[in-house]
Amino acid sequence: MTTYGLLITGSGPAGVSAAEAYADAGGPGPVALLTADPHAPYERPPLSKNALTSPGDVEPTPITEATLPDGVDVRLGATVTAVDLGARTVQVGGETLTFERLVVATGSTPLPLPGAEEDAEIHALRSLQDGRDLARAAQHARTALVIGSGFIGCEAAASLARSGLDVTLVTPEDAPQQERLGSYAAQQISSWLADLGVDVRTGVEVTSVHAPRTVHLSDGHTLAPDLVLAALGIAPQGDLLGDAGALTYEGRVVADEHLQAAPGVWVAGDIARGLHAIAGRALAVEHWGDALAMGAVAGRNAAVGDDGEQERWEEVPGFWSTIGEHTLQYAAWGDGYDREEVVGRVGGFTIWYADAADTLVGVLTYNADADYERGRRLIAAGAGIAEAMRGDDIPELRGGRKTCNLC
Ligand SMILES: Cc1cc2nc3c(=O)[nH]c(=O)nc-3n(C[C@H](O)[C@H](O)[C@H](O)COP(=O)(O)OP(=O)(O)OC[C@H]3O[C@@H](n4cnc5c(N)ncnc54)[C@H](O)[C@@H]3O)c2cc1C
């Protein structure tokens, strides 16, 4: 029986980037990448953006930021059903595969809508197939209801409206993204959605959905749209390793600052709850670029192995979001803030976020790329919000933050 030098589960950005980094670092083969997805690796972000507004079938956008090396045994439609950390095996389609090292990057799945009948027609948006199903349904629809005001909900609502549908978005928040980004950003997003004709109904929850698409709301209204998309957030898929005995927290696999979860096992992307080397605490991130960055750390660390010099996870988390024609960029530790300061920029704005000690913990920019780049460095350096607003140079690294790749 073949023993794989490295087995990777998951063909999202974390898995692909781990494969590339492992090969670049000279990790021993053979290498196999096992993925439940029947399609070759593709980008998810376009699925709520331009893919939804383009005519015709949704074509996959291949991942370009990382490339699967030649010689990797890629198995599509191969769901790993169990991992045995002692025997160093995985179960896939009735087969047992043995590994020396394992990178698990199984990502997330969309949260289901509570209160919906089993046969209610409710779209979710995660995979290429989901994107195709949603786009096809949209081509035959006149009205759409989007449930949830996270980034995917806002992006999809904007895209559906741009495709000519009458779109309603319902959210329990007072304004889209208010909890995460604060009032100013929330009002901007609301106005962008309103400009596209999206009817945003705030402070409202779905109480039940009767098949096929009769939606009852907490404000007493009932809607019967041609299409329903639930965008309520995600459930990280950490159970595969959790069932094998690894420590999990809220569905994520707990890992050290090298993203190692057990001897010979590394995790990356949405399922990881890694100890961030600069933040000095465990972080959970759900972003494309971070999945790529974490996958690269996991892949390189798998290549050097348990006894080699392991690299730390140090990248400041961040993402971008495009709502209609408006692109926001955000970098932050992602676990909250106490104070926000808005600064106007020509045709845009910057919001600086700080904790109770006035340390910068996040930056959100719209048409202010220079602030975004500078903000990431300042966050990594532990700068104060006053320094960020004054436009000071990046300060010396502070105690507790020993290294900073970005500085
Ligand atoms: C519509 C949409 C738009 C987005 N837009 C943005 C954006 O604009 N900016 C941004 O930063 N982020 C965005 N994201 C989030 C981003 O795509 C995710 O954070 C990223 O894909 C996470 O990467 P990952 O590799 O951890 O997991 P995933 O990309 O979820 O990949 C997980 C892989 O694991 C496989 N898998 C799962 N279970 C098993 C198993 N048991 N056995 C084998 N394989 C398994 C899956 O099939 C999949 O291939 C978006 C996400 C969606 C869905």
Interval 177-187: pLDDT, tens: 999 999 999 99
User: Cα 71 to the chain's mean position, in Å?
Assistant: 28
Q: Which of 270, 271, 376 to mutate to test the pocket of ligand 1 (most atoms within 8 A of CB)?
A: 270
Q: Does 407 have pLDDT greater than 60?
A: no
User: How far apart (Å, rounded) are the C-alpha atoms in residues 50 and 67?
Assistant: 23
User: How far apart (Å, rounded) are the C-alpha atoms in residues 133 and 124?
Assistant: 9
- Given a contact cutoff of 8 angstroms between Cβ atoms, the answer to whether 182 and 152 are in contact is no
Nearest Cα residue to atom 29 of ligand 1: 12
Q: Which residue, 321, 319, 327, is CA-closest to 376?
A: 319
Atom of ligand 1 nearest to the CA of 106: 34
Is-same-fold flag (3-109+234-304; 336-390)?
Answer: no
pLDDT in tens, 2-23: 899 999 999 999 999 999 999 9
- Cβ–ligand 1 contact at 110 (below 6 Å): no
User: How far apart (Å, rounded) are the C-alpha atoms in residues 346 and 197?
Assistant: 25
pLDDT in tens, 16-63: 999 999 999 999 999 999 999 999 999 999 999 988 988 888 999 999
Cα–ligand 1 centroid distance for 286 (angstroms)? 8
3-state class (DSSP) for residue 45: helix
Cα–ligand 1 centroid distance for 388 (angstroms)? 32
- Cβ–ligand 1 contact at 270 (below 6 Å): yes
Cα–ligand 1 centroid distance for 194 (angstroms)? 29
User: How far apart (Å, rounded) are the C-alpha atoms in residues 314 and 164?
Assistant: 43
Q: Which residue, 375, 366, 291, is CA-closest to 323?
A: 366
pLDDT in tens, 299-358: 999 999 999 999 999 999 999 999 999 999 999 999 899 999 999 998 999 999 999 999
Average pLDDT over residues 372-395: 86
> Position 314: which residue type?
E
- Cβ–ligand 1 contact at 318 (below 6 Å): no
- Given a contact cutoff of 8 angstroms between Cβ atoms, the answer to whether 81 and 63 are in contact is no
- Given a contact cutoff of 8 angstroms between Cβ atoms, the answer to whether 151 and 320 are in contact is no
Q: Which of 287, 323, 328 to mutate to test the pocket of ligand 1 (most atoms within 8 A of CB)?
A: 287
- Cβ–ligand 1 contact at 331 (below 6 Å): no
Atom of ligand 1 nearest to the CA of 321: 8
> Position 67: which residue type?
T
pLDDT band at 393 (very low <50, low <70, confident <90, very high): low
CATH class of 336-390: alpha beta
Let me know if 281 is exposed, middle or buried by CB neighbors in 10 A (0-12, 13-18, 19+): exposed
Pick the CATH number of 112-230 from 3.40.50.1240, 1.10.287.1260, 3.20.20.70, 3.50.50.60: 3.50.50.60
The tokens describing 132, both together, are 């195709």
Atom of ligand 1 nearest to the CA of 156: 1
- Given a contact cutoff of 8 angstroms between Cβ atoms, the answer to whether 259 and 283 are in contact is no
Fold of 3-109+234-304: FAD/NAD(P)-binding domain (3.50.50)
Q: What is the DSSP pairing of strand 143-147 with strand 272-275?
A: unpaired
- Cβ–ligand 1 contact at 10 (below 6 Å): yes
Q: What is the DSSP pairing of strand 3-9 with strand 31-34?
A: parallel
- The domain spans of the chain are 3-109+234-304, 112-230, 336-390
- Given a contact cutoff of 8 angstroms between Cβ atoms, the answer to whether 66 and 150 are in contact is no
- Cβ–ligand 1 contact at 286 (below 6 Å): yes
Segments in 25-72 forming alpha helices (H): 50-53
CA distances from 184 to 188, 202, 322 (A): 6, 16, 17
- Cβ–ligand 1 contact at 299 (below 6 Å): no
